[in-house]
Amino acid sequence: MRTVLATDLDPIQTNAWLVGGVSPRPIAFASTVDAEGRRNLAPFSFFNAFGSNPPMVAFGPNRRGRDGTVKHTYLNAEATKEFVIATVSYAMVQQMNVASAEYAAGVDEFLKSGFTPAPARFVKPALVAESPFQMECKLQQVIDLGGKPGSGIMLLGEVLCFHAKEEVLTDGLPDPRKLDQVGRCGGAWYARANGDALFQVAKPAGQPIGWDALPELLKQSHLLTANDLGRLANSAVVPDLEAMERRANDPDAPESIEEAIHLALRREDLDEAWRLVGLRLKT
């Protein structure tokens, strides 16, 4: 494994390592206005949620790495104490890229990128009509993380309200399969959270049995993956393997049983996977 000391890198190189390794990152498409009411729209991928009571989000319109200057989004939010965060769907990504260019102060990125401004309910910055999910926010705190070229500036805001298009909701909540969001990776790379890119991971039910409770024979397998074993380790209890019935069509070879365990786990059929574990222990 290569080790690179952060102190040996300049801000541009450091940023490349950060965005390359910390990815994909959600994108805050930030809508702001300046003191004169002129619109600004720009994407930032140093962004996440940081609490639900009150609901808080933060994003980083960081200082430019080449000269340490600040961005219009930061100046606007600092002046008005308001911003809107819009999510970016795959259908918006190319227009969003146009909005990411460095335009002069006062240039309206809504016009440059072709997005439609829509009135917000509680704040002056506009909503992005094309975005499927948005948050109106009140600035609560500005955290300057260095004051040097490439240093972070974290804008922490309280969410006043959420907006979501009806077609992206399932049972009244945002559905990632319908939102079709994109995330930022390193370089010019993005990730699309839709289709085959989406998968579910069951949360631990209370206290799972853990990796240490798995039979050593399984841990030494050349076919079962770390994810396979992790799924078994997430079980609430170790079932009574002796009590599980063997079906007539069970595979006989140990490797075939391990392959069957792997396939059962991919189907999320945990009972069948444990039944097959019992067979593997008997071979």
Lowest mean pLDDT among 57-71, 165-179, 239-253: 239-253
Domains and CATH numbers, the chain: 6-197 (2.30.110.10), 211-282 (no CATH)
pLDDT at 185: 95
pLDDT digits (tens, 9 = 90+) for 200-229: 788 887 889 899 888 888 888 888 999 999
Residue 72, pLDDT above cutoff 80: yes
The pTM score is 0.82
pLDDT digits (tens, 9 = 90+) for 43-52: 999 999 999 9
pLDDT at 246: 46
| 7-26 mean pLDDT | 93
Helix, strand counts (H, E) of the chain? 9, 14
Structure tokens at 222: 């050349």
When the pLDDT of each residue in the chain is averaged and rounded to a whole number, the result is: 91
> Phi then psi for 229, rounded to 5 degrees?
-65, -35
pLDDT at 244: 57
Pairing type for strands 181-184 and 169-170 reads: unpaired
Q: What angle do CA 239, 243, 247 make, to 5 degrees?
A: 105
pLDDT at 254: 58
In angstroms, the Cα distances linking 43 to 99, 114, 142 are 7, 15, 18
Lowest mean pLDDT among 126-140, 144-158, 192-206: 192-206
pLDDT digits (tens, 9 = 90+) for 150-175: 999 999 999 999 999 999 999 999 99
| 185-192 mean pLDDT | 93
Residue 252, pLDDT above cutoff 90: no
Lowest mean pLDDT among 98-107, 206-215, 233-242: 233-242
CA pair distance 56, 115, nearest whole angstrom: 26
Q: How confident is the model at residue 255 (pLDDT cuts 50, 70, 90)?
A: low
- Among residues 117, 135, 99, the alpha carbon closest in space to that of 38 is found at 117
Q: How confident is the model at residue 121 (pLDDT cuts 50, 70, 90)?
A: very high
Identify residue 212 by its one-letter amino acid code: D
| 233-250 mean pLDDT | 66
Residue listed under structure tokens 């460095």: 102
- Among residues 24, 25, 30, 58, the alpha carbon closest in space to that of 43 is found at 30
Q: How confident is the model at residue 97 (pLDDT cuts 50, 70, 90)?
A: very high
For the chain, percent of residues with pLDDT exceeding 90: 68
Largest CA distance in the chain: 78
